[in-house]
Structure 1
């Protein structure tokens, strides 16, 4: 193929359902790509016109009217280049997840995605009908084969495109982020290039959509499988390339480690959830512990200190060092803070409940009352100010139910919902690498809910260094109790942890959404029944 074909990869962040707004964004990027980059072919991600995933919005006929209206309006404005846009469209067979090519002031071609994912977070067979044919279009003398996302994970769509004459494969994506996803993509893309012998352009979406987070990292491989371009992760932008040119002439964003990727994913996920839903800022209950400290740092990096409000709500069990550390962190980050002790509302609840509580020893009832006092205060501030409450619980706690319904689980978004406790510590240390975002003592003191005298997490749970691997094996890898025990873990501990995971599904079902960064997160990704006898057979 000719090295003269100048391609711009449009790594963009659409808003689901905002067809008009997304169309304006696309046209603006097309203008920029033409004026600044002299691009001949501009490629946008999967379903860029509707945003991904639109879920049951796809069942509404009005959405498809908007899509076709937008395409008809856009086509005459794209007359001096070719543009590939991901769109849903309906034909005589059914609804398609498609790629549309516009150019010369008209619509040139439509391609229907041939491989529809229906696993993990994907439900595409609920909405779409699979395509059956390749689509190859001439663009300034180069035969371009169109594919969509999952198509590239299987040999046939790429092979049939090349058999139909394609000299360049273009694959448009909305591929969600999780740790290690980049390596999986690269291995698959290189395999397709080895099989076909033609260059490959891979364009991925950026941004947060409810629980999902899209990392971008769009790629171009030449006909030998050599990486020619790697766009940055978690950033929008236009990235020019000619696949026949030397790799040195294109962008090559650096790869970062797990901590950097996870932290940036959490920041973008919070920013997009808050901003796309129109909230003016967030409010966070700041305890002086590591979870709320990391949540506060993420929120400040996502939104700016001026849009973050911290609330310290000490109880009779709150250690003085917790308040000190919380105050220091707010000062370090420039965050406005309120201090609202919960002793008075706690006493009021104890008084109201005295006929029930009298003569009975204190237990989790009194502990949960404190958490619920805090939840009421945070939600009242949210109502009055319009700020969204960010909850601070991590994946380890959510897995085993070490959280209080209508207490510390009350809120609109849970940034750490898919972050195990051991990774919380690693992210906090990474966050502190070039600044004092989190007081050092927060990273070193034993974690505690501080709802009872001298309480520590280890009183109720195995050490997190033991708990987190067990949770990973059971939740993310579907290992049995026997397999986990064979990996070196105590059977009694494993059975207890697995039992807690299964019993607390009802709590997780009532938890707010949070950013997915693992291969299997609670929520949209992992779907278990609340009412089940499965756990009875574990032993």
Structure 2
């Protein structure tokens, strides 16, 4: 276990019905194979040591004795193996037969989890042989001692209590109130299911939705191991349909009708963070439960040898990769932004808005949102006042794009060259105009904001902010300059998503000339254009100064959404951006991210209003209530330890 990830596997051995010796041998061979692959939690199907389809052979003493002997052999085999194993078998206790899942780790039988819900309908006749399991644990004889037996058992890892495992068996998850619900409410973060679910037409889709849905509802990992080839086909066929899910996401799924083992790395820290932030998820109540400790301690060398994480890490977490889903998401976000502005216009009685149009991505998106909001209100678009304010850094490319786009959208365009006024301002404060420092840059931004505010007063309108969430996270905005507005429509849209929103509009607008302008905006380097161009080309590229936005958006997502440590985000970024950025580059910009994120909170503490569109936002009134003078020391020290 490393960085809060646990490698889990669901296995379907090819068994022989009523041959516990063969079945145990196959189970042990799988344990041996997947120990080498770093698996720490391995789940086998229901009654796999005997076979689920033994029917009345379950009443034969010789079968029950041999199963018990093979369980002893299995437990002995796991000595020295840092792996928690669940395997199904029939178990006799006080004259009754129970369907149980044995929890085994490092040469010890930890407990026997009983099946609670016995299907006795259609093709199932389990009550003919088995007694419904007790919820409250009892002690059952095992070798020269006793072990706990019952449904309400929790298996908690000594090294990382965030790994707390509980089990249910097959039908248990199909009932209206599965045991896994109370398991999770008692603190289980991973549910395992030893199952023998036969295959009929269409059942696999329902099974998949059931397991993924249960993992989402309970905010847990779910490892589902199903019986397969080798079970009797006298009346039924079992497909070995194995599934590993996490909080609604399917991490791994086997093919059907072949004995197969699937693996995935469950993210315990992510699950814990999600439960922690969801205030409607109750605190763990373990009353009525017995907790059993186990150990998965391994050396740092063994942890390193597990290699890459067996899970997909999205390097663009804000942007859906599926084109259809991305288009749907873009349309939804546009609507949220426009509805937010629409409400503000209605409330204030404004029928005019003012915004600075630069020919860059953010102001383009703000103008598109304003146009949609005005259409919703049936207000003429010419009451959108787009102001272009060229100065020392403005290039002809961005200027022309700003003008053409405004005209194509039917908004009013006004040009105010601010070179003279900014030059006079520098003279007034005694600043040498040849010194291109922060005063030189911010003086232009604040002059533009003053103009926008004054024009808004003239027309009885409001200034629309154009800055995006990525810029606010990094503090890449001039305080009381472009940082300020009367309503910020892009305030919770990350830069990587801004690009796709503009592209979506370009593809959907149906106007070729407007589309051509928007595509050229997309092709223009991101820049505040506050420094003079070189040979007419943009000289000041934002990503050269603060780093690639795709990296910063990745960092931002995992810092705010889950509160992960810098060292963990670094490890995830190495895998997510493999082949795009090297280790040194990722470390450099992660360092910059934390430094700027902490230092620039004062700008976020006084943000204008703006609509939240996704699960991450930086509004001081909503998602990020952070002190402006918080120390970043422990974050930086954690980051330094990985070098």
TM-score between both structures, scaled by the size of structure 2:
0.43
Distance 1:401 1:384 in 2: 30
Q: Is contact 2:598-2:631 (8 Å) kept? A: no
Which residue in the other structure is 1:268 paired with?
339
CA distance in 2 between partners of 1:266 and 1:500 (Å)? 27
Deviation at 1:534, TM superposition (A): 3.7
> Would the aligned equivalents of 2:525 and 2:541 in 1 still touch at CA under 8 Å?
yes
Distance (whole Å) between structure 1 residues aligned to residue 332 and residue 213 of structure 2: 19
After superposition, residues 174-213 of structure 1 pair within 5 angstroms as none
Q: CA deviation at 1:393?
A: 0.5
Larger of the two Rg values belongs to structure: 2
**TM-score normalised by L of structure 1:** 0.51
Does structure 1 conserve the Cα–Cα contact (< 8 Å) formed by 2:426 and 2:432?
no
Aligned match for 2:385, one of 301, 309, 320: 309
Query: In structure 2, which of residues 547, 557, 565 is the aligned counterpart of residue 462 of structure 1?
Result: 547
Query: In structure 2, what is the Cα distance between the partners aligned to 1:521 and 1:277?
Result: 25
Structure 1 position 476 matched with structure 2 position 561: yes
Contact preservation (8 Å) 2:557, 2:616: no
Per-residue Cα deviation, 1:413-465 (whole angstroms, up to 9, x for no partner): 11111111110000001111232456121011111100013111122121122
Q: Could you say which residue in structure 1 is the equivalent of 2:631?
A: 533
**1:360/1:348 CA distance change after superposition, 3 Å:** closer
* Contact 1:499–1:535 (8 Å) recurs in 2: no
Q: Please say if residues 551 and 589 of structure 2, whose CA atoms lie closer than 8 Å, have aligned partners that are also in contact.
A: no
Shift in Å, 1:525: 1.6
Aligned with 1:340 (options 409, 412, 416)? 416
Paired position in structure 1 for 2:483:
409
Select 1:397's aligned residue among 456, 471, 482.
471
Change in CA separation of 1:191 and 1:474 when aligned onto 2, cut-off 3 Å: closer
For residues 345 and 366 of structure 1, the distance between their equivalents in structure 2, rounded to whole angstroms, comes to: 13
Change (3 A) 1:348 1:486: same
- The alpha-carbon deviation at position 358 of structure 1 amounts to 4.5
1:314–1:358 CA distance, 2 compared to 1 (3 A): closer
Which residues of 2 match residues 61-140 of structure 1 at below 5 A?
A: none
Following the alignment from structure 2 to structure 1, what is the Cα–Cα distance between the partners of residues 427 and 213? 63
Cα deviation 1:197-251 (Å, max 9, x = unaligned) = xxxxxxxxxxxxxxxxxxxxxxxxxxxxxxxxxxxxxxxxxxxxxxxxxxxxxxx
Whether 2:465 is the aligned partner of 1:380: answer: no
Count of residue correspondences: 295
Distance in 1 between residues matched to 2:617 and 2:629, nearest whole Å: 20
**Change beyond 3 A, Cα 1:516–1:187:** farther
1:451 aligns with 2:530: yes
Q: 4+ runs of 1 displaced by more than 4 Å?
A: none
Aligned 8 A contact 1:393 1:408 in 2: yes
State the alpha-carbon separation in 2 of the partners of residues 187 and 332 from structure 1: 46
Q: CA-atom RMSD, angstroms?
A: 2.7
Quick one: distance in 2 between partners of 1:481 and 1:335?
45
Matched ranges for 1:47-66 at <5 A: none
Decide whether the 8 Å contact of 1:481 with 1:491 is kept in 2: no
Structure 2 unmatched ranges of 5 or more: 1-180, 183-208, 219-324, 376-380, 533-538, 575-582, 638-643
Q: Distance in 1 between matches of 2:566 and 2:348?
A: 41
2:373 pairs with 1:297: no
Match of 1:282 in 2: 353
Other-structure match for 1:508 = 604
8 Å CA contact retained: 2:465, 2:484:
yes
Cα pair distance change 1:359/1:344, threshold 3 Å = closer
Q: Which residue of 1 aligns with 2:328?
A: 257
Matched, 1:321 2:406: no
Worse overlay, 395-404 or 491-500: 491-500
Q: Which runs of 5+ in 1 are unaligned?
A: 1-154, 157-182, 193-253
Distance 2:328 2:506 in 1: 15
